[in-house]
Amino acid sequence: MLSLILLLIIGSALVYISKFNFVPVDLNLGAYVLSDIPLFYVIVGSLLIGLVLSYLIYLVQAFATALTLSGKNKEIEKNKSEILELTRRIHQLELENRELKQLSGNEPEDPNAL
């Protein structure tokens, strides 16, 4: 519903602009000259070209951001796997430490010890 209202407002603004801007003008595009084009078409064309260019710039920026996030996600996954491997190694060392203590017969006397 909001998009319909917005579309009606934009359409009304374009009709208002076109009502007073049908004066024919010459449009110079480098070496090319287009003559007797209504000023309204030049205004709307400029607006559309600006919107398209800004959307293309946005797409390039979004693509660069996606690539950056992809690199960060890979780094996070690498760090997670490293943490998992270190946790496994700590557990193995704790088991080995416990076995060595049992073999030597030196159990800690502290009841609060782990």
Q: 49-81 burial by CB neighbour count: b if 16+ within 10 A, else e?
A: eeeeeeeeeeeeeeeeeeeeeeeeeeeeeeeee
Q: Does residue 2 fall inside a structural domain?
A: no
Q: Which two tokens stand for residue 58?
A: 């946005």
Domain that holds residue 68: 16-103
Q: Does residue 21 fall inside a structural domain?
A: yes
DSSP 76: H
Decide if 42 contacts 24 (C-beta within 8 A). Answer: no
Q: Does residue 84 fall inside a structural domain?
A: yes
Q: Does residue 58 fall inside a structural domain?
A: yes
pLDDT per position as a tens digit, 79-92: 999 999 999 999 99
Q: Does residue 29 fall inside a structural domain?
A: yes
Q: Does residue 8 fall inside a structural domain?
A: no
What total number of domains does the chain contain? 1
Q: Does residue 79 fall inside a structural domain?
A: yes
Per-residue pLDDT of the chain (114 residues; tens, 9 = 90+): 889 999 999 889 888 888 888 899 999 988 999 999 999 899 889 999 999 999 999 999 999 999 999 989 999 999 999 999 999 999 999 999 998 888 887 665 666 666
Q: Are strands 32-38 and 24-29 parallel, antiparallel or unpaired?
A: antiparallel
Q: What is the pTM of this model?
A: 0.60
Q: Does residue 57 fall inside a structural domain?
A: yes
